[in-house]
Amino acid sequence: MSNEKPEAGAKHAILSSVFAALLFVASSAAQARIINAGSASLADVRGAIASAVHGDTVIVPAGTASWTSCLTITKSITIQGQTTTNSDNGTASDQTILIDNLVRVGADRDISIAPRAPPVNCFG
């Protein structure tokens, strides 16, 4: 028979449950994926964003695309263009070029983030 008090066993069970929950949350955060859009076209970028979940990164490859409609983002994701850097001379060269050909009526924008949407990061 154990000399352990019943309260100590209950505390141990609670601590074990909290630890397991923290491990689950940490492993979920570590599961973020990198999704490569097929091209810089709006259709390919939309498709990549549609398959992304919160925390994922969508890579828009090198290329030039003319977008003529709006892109709305409602997820906490990172969108990153293809960029090369040279750390020796401190320069960066953006290889993804999105040409704004959206006809604006009122307050339309190329990229909009839905109200109350989680943060979106856009790079290069």
Q: What is the pLDDT of residues 26-73, one digit of tens each?
A: 555 557 899 999 999 999 999 999 999 988 999 999 988 888 888 888
Q: What is the pLDDT of residue 36?
A: 95
Report pTM: 0.61
Distant-in-sequence, close-in-space partners of 64: CB < 8 Å, separation ≥ 6: 40, 97, 98, 99
Q: What is the pLDDT of residue 106?
A: 60
The rounded mean pLDDT for the chain is 77
Neighbour-count burial of 32, counting CB atoms closer than 10 A to its CB (0-12 exposed, 13-18 middle, 19+ buried): middle
- Determine the Cα angle at 30 with ends 25 and 33, to 5°: 130
